[in-house]
Chains A and B, each alone.
Chain A
């Protein structure tokens, strides 16, 4: 148990510099942006002197490291700055993010559910039918779904389920629960390919173990051997990587929310980029990166629980 605790502490400590890297990158982003950051707040007919005063007032003339430190200080107090886009001028970015966060979270949760409820049965099925045409068709499906960029999958699903058949609403949130199904399905299907592949290889590995042979030789029906004994062990490594899926979902969410005009954080990134609202882009990227870092952490910790060998490494 002590090694597990020290392992978790080690991983937590490692997450701290990564979070700092995230803050540094988003700060650098604003710093590198071509054009004067002051240009958004300059009143019309301002003289060069006035501009210089404004620059001094907002601290844009200070050295890089001082500006970064101030940025960190504000961040530490939950102050992400305010929006400079026309539609949301001077709105607190933290407020914008909190408003949008639930949308992205529910999208990811339903996407994850879809992904696992397709991927796990399909992977088990492929493993049980190893090297038959059924197995091969499942593998071809996963290859295609894995290669498919999420925006293109989204457009295809939109055509199939909305434009031509009108089963589901294509855009926005007006359709209630039905509205979330298309974007969630897009996110889920792409990730289901990964889940299927993992589940299949994990099941194949377990199927070869001695204790499975032993159960069979005792005369247990095959169904019981697979579903009562093998599945339990095979599913473990698949579940432990749920944290890593979050990384996939975050990248997917930015694109998928844009395709379906789903008003989450992903869509806020895209609209903020096109509005040159860089403080908002900073906030979004920071919060999404934070998700992924937490996801990786959860994966590492779950993995250490499942496989004691990792703790030593």
Chain B
């Protein structure tokens, strides 16, 4: 009897660890069988690694200090794979460097939105009562307000800079995460294992972060992936309108805007960054949609 208890504990914890491992492995296997996740991940891996390797790839300088006017508007060739723009800069290297900007802005913006959203949503959903009343009202306000207009208003007011774009997108996007988190927390807190851990004397913070949050991870991951796609769209639209990333920093939206004037004689200026932009957004959307099918079949068709 004396050694049975620890044995049992060991056994069950071993089983639990195996169970966790199996479920993670299981999810990975199911993801690898999902065509959407695989296609999306492949696209994103290619674009992210090109963006990460940009400084060491043998490419032309995206923002040369010495412009060469003779190189302007050259069509794609072995020297300039994507041609050159109206100032003679290499479109290929600017597209790759543009990926760095877009991906950094989008992931940081979604990271901050997620942080604000999870904190507020978890607090509101878990505690209920007055904090919930106030937070849920704020969430509803921001949720109803059109996010692109909000981002546009803030970006225009704060003035164009990378940090301000990140701030503007975070302010306009956090409500979605908060709403999701609050809904999940509301339903999870009623489950029996929460009551059990409270009976065992666990503090609120501990329950919130070790029990409630992990149970909400699946939909959060799905939404974060789709969120990155949305953030890239917003960032490029802001740059297109001239309130996002400022020249000479290469950004897809601004490159497309400049290219409009040269559609006839140099369509490559707009086309290549445009195609890369489309595939990046598509990639994150595919990952999001696929993961949703894998992680939570009930959420199928939830997004319009």
Contact = CB atoms under 8 A, between A and B. Distances in A.
Interface of A: 14-15, 17-18, 21-22, 25-26, 28-30, 32-34, 143-144, 146-152, 155-156, 158-159, 163, 194, 197-198, 201, 241, 244, 247, 250-251, 254-255, 258-259, 269-270, 273-274, 278, 281, 285, 288-289, 292-293, 296
Nearest to A159: B263
B153 interface: yes
B278 A14 contact: no
Nearest to A198: B304
B153 A26 contact: yes
**Which of B156, B233, B243, B286 has the largest number of chain A CB atoms within 10 A?**
B156
A110 B48 CA distance: 39
Nearest to A148: B278
B156 A147 contact: no
Contacts of A250: 146, 148-149
B158 A32 contact: yes
B278 A197 contact: no
Contacts of A255: 237, 240-241
Interface residues of B, number: 43
A150 B256 CA distance: 12
A206 to B, nearest CB: 14
Nearest to A245: B304
A22 B146 CA distance: 10
Given A25-B150, A251-B237, A255-B240, 7 more contacts: A15-B144, A18-B141, A149-B240, A152-B278, A241-B304, A289-B149, A293-B144
Nearest to B260: A155
B97 to A, nearest CB: 19
Nearest to A197: B304
Contact of A147 (B264, B282, B301): B282
Interface of B: 137, 140-142, 144-146, 148-150, 152-154, 156-159, 229, 233, 236-237, 240-243, 253, 256-257, 259-260, 263-264, 267, 270, 274, 277-278, 281-282, 285-286, 301, 304
Contacts of A158: 260, 263
**Which of A247, A255, A270 has the largest number of chain B CB atoms within 10 A?**
A255
Nearest 8 CB-CB pairings of A with B: A251-B148, A29-B157, A147-B282, A147-B281, A292-B146, A152-B274, A163-B263, A32-B157
Contacts of A143: 282, 285-286
Given A254-B148, A285-B152, A288-B146, A30 B157 contact: yes
A33 B155 CA distance: 10
Contacts of B263: 155, 158-159, 163
Contacts of A273: 156, 241-243
Given A146-B285, A198-B304, A273-B243, A289 B267 contact: no
A17 B141 CA distance: 7
B297 to A, nearest CB: 14
B149 A151 contact: no
A289 B146 contact: yes
Contact of B304 (A15, A149, A194): A194
Contact of A259 (B233, B260, B274, B285): B260
**Which of B142, B240, B281, B301 has the largest number of chain A CB atoms within 10 A?**
B240
Contacts of B144: 14-15, 18, 293, 296
Given A149-B233, A254-B152, A21 B157 contact: no
Contacts of A149: 233, 236-237, 240, 253, 277-278, 281
A251 B153 contact: no
B149 A292 contact: yes
